[in-house]
């Protein structure tokens, strides 16, 4: 009961500070909106990588089939180009206006259908993550096209109908576009799509949950400096109850803040956080407990208010930048992504996005939530070891 009483006292102090509402709700909502627009809005635009197609064989039947196969890709989208010089294509790829560019040479359809080895020209930056993804998407579409050509040629052998090859080609391409078997794979950590507001909302929730520790940190630091904590020990309250009361207050602030921000994302931005209510509550609780433990640690090692702000901002910048709160880790190299997932922020964002963006089941958040609980325990132990009542 004493823990609850101490927590209520802290919450009353925080509620009297109007700046708390600004830091905890108004600023994250504003930044979520701005970063969501910067990242591409609410998914209204096509999130696939743009691949330019310069068709120098407009009369050929294979060009249109290649465009259809690229249009059906989950990774790339075709952008038709006309009369663009090769050096201009290279410049657009280099400037990342296009993830890749394909040049279909004159006579490509006739020569390929006749069994000749006619090559497409692919312009791509192999050192760019976007270029690598575009390369894989294009290669998959070309492989399907050539497979359809071979299947049509085999099916037309012995036929006297000159249009048999083209009919077989149409059937083979349609088979790729409308497969008889639909396989759905769920894998935590892989994006099934991209939504600017989903990325921005999850990132800002994590960032401002850390930033919101400043006000509770002030409260606890003020009690240490005024020796209020030391005087509490002269009462029947134990050290465990005093620390527990402050952690409960920080947990409550974090839980309410994250809940309200997810509700804002759900109803204002269309980010479907609450499609799995129990999983979302588990993620919110794990996130709030981790930030509460981090807040206790910051308060324990800070000697004045300036240090509270400095350490909190340092945590915000390092954990935010390296953990994918500012930009998606999927857009970085595999090495950077691996390093980022040594931080709790990356796992927090994964957990929120597994539900809201990737559409995975509630079981997908068990690992991210478990990692956050482990970090919460780590920071709590470190904070208690460094905590001083005097």
Phi (first) and psi of residue 177, to 5 degrees: -80, -25
Assigned token pair, 115: 């069994």
Q: How far is CA 96 from CA 52, 81, 90, 103, 132, in A?
A: 12, 16, 10, 17, 13
Phi (first) and psi of residue 361, to 5 degrees: -75, 170
- Residue 83 CB neighbours (<10 A): 7
Distance CA 86, CA 77 (A): 20
Phi-psi region of 206 (alpha: psi -120 to 50; beta: other; left: phi over 0): alpha
Query: CB of 161 within 8 A of CB of 129?
Result: no
> Can you tell me the mean pLDDT for 23-39?
70
Question: Does 127 have pLDDT greater than 50?
Answer: yes
Helix/strand/coil percent split, the chain, to 5 = 65, 5, 30
- Residue 159 CB neighbours (<10 A): 12
| Dihedral angle of Cα 367, 371, 373, 378, to the nearest 10 degrees | 160
Q: 128: burial class by Cβ within 10 Å (0-12, 13-18, 19+)? A: middle
Least confident piece of the model among 109-118, 234-243, 358-367:
234-243
**Side-chain-side CA neighbours of residue 188 (13 Å):** 18
- pLDDT of 195 reads 58
What percentage of the chain reaches a pLDDT higher than 90? Answer: 15
Sketch out the chain's domains with CATH numbers: 2-42+193-386 (no CATH), 49-177 (3.40.1710)
| Dihedral angle of Cα 305, 307, 312, 316, to the nearest 10 degrees | 140
**Side-chain-side CA neighbours of residue 381 (13 Å):** 5
- pLDDT of 151 reads 82
Per residue in 332-377, pLDDT (tens digit) is 777 888 888 999 999 999 999 888 877 778 888 999 999 999 999 9
- Model confidence at 124, pLDDT cuts 50, 70, 90, reads very high
| Dihedral angle of Cα 284, 290, 292, 297, to the nearest 10 degrees | -170
Question: Does 24 have pLDDT greater than 80?
Answer: no
Closest CA to 388 of 313, 316, 302, 312: 302
Q: What DSSP character marks residue 237?
A: -
- Residue 62 CB neighbours (<10 A): 24
Question: Does 67 have pLDDT greater than 80?
Answer: yes
- pLDDT of 95 reads 84
Residue entry with tokens 């760019």? 128
Helix axes 305-322, 277-301, angle to 10 degrees: 140
Assigned token pair, 330: 């999927």
Distance CA 38, CA 24 (A): 22
Query: CB of 204 within 8 A of CB of 325?
Result: yes
Q: How far is CA 213 from CA 196, 263, 367, 371, in A?
A: 26, 21, 25, 20
Q: 236: burial class by Cβ within 10 Å (0-12, 13-18, 19+)? A: exposed
Q: How far is CA 40 from CA 44, 60, 165, 208, 221, in A?
A: 8, 36, 43, 21, 41
Give the highest mean pLDDT range of 66-75, 256-265, 326-335, 365-374. 365-374
- pLDDT of 102 reads 93
Assigned token pair, 194: 């991209």
């Amino acid at each position: 009961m004493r823990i609850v009483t101490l927590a209520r006292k802290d919450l009353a102090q925080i509620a009297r500070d109007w700046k708390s509402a600004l830091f905890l709700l108004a600023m994250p909502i504003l930044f979520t909106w701005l970063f969501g627009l910067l990242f591409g809005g609410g998914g209204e635009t096509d999130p696939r990588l743009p691949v330019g197609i310069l068709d120098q064989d407009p009369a050929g039947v294979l060009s249109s089939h290649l465009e259809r196969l690229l249009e059906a890709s989950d990774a790339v989208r075709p952008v038709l180009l006309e009369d663009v010089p090769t050096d201009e294509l290279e410049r657009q790829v280099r400037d990342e206006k296009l993830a890749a560019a394909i040049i279909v040479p004159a006579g490509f359809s006739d020569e390929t259908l006749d069994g000749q080895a006619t090559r497409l020209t692919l312009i791509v930056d192999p050192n760019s993550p976007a270029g690598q993804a575009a390369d894989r998407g294009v290669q998959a579409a070309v492989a399907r096209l050539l497979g359809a050509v071979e299947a049509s040629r085999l099916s037309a052998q012995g036929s006297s109908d000159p249009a048999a090859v083209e009919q077989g080609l149409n059937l083979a391409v349609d088979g790729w576009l409308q497969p008889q078997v639909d396989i759905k794979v769920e894998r935590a950590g892989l994006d099934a799509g991209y939504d600017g507001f989903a990325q921005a909302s999850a990132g800002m929730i994590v960032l401002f949950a850390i930033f919101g520790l400043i006000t509770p940190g002030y409260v606890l630091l003020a009690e240490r400096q005024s020796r209020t904590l030391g005087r509490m020990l002269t009462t029947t309250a134990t050290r465990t109850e005093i620390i527990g009361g402050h952690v409960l207050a920080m947990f409550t602030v974090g839980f309410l803040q994250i809940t309200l921000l997810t509700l804002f994302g759900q109803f204002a931005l269309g980010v479907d956080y609450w499609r799995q209510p129990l999983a979302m509550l588990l993620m919110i609780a794990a996130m709030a407990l981790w930030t509460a433990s981090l807040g206790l640690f910051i308060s324990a090692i800070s000697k004045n208010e300036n240090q509270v702000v400095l350490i909190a901002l340092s945590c915000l910048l390092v954990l935010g930048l390296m953990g994918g709160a500012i930009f998606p880790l999927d857009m970085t190299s595999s090495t950077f992504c691996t390093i980022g997932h040594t931080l709790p922020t990356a796992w927090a964002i994964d957990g929120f996005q597994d539900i809201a963006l990737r559409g995975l089941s509630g079981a997908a958040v068990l690992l991210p939530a478990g990692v956050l609980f482990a970090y919460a325990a780590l920071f709590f132990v470190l904070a208690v070891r460094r905590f001083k009542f005097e």
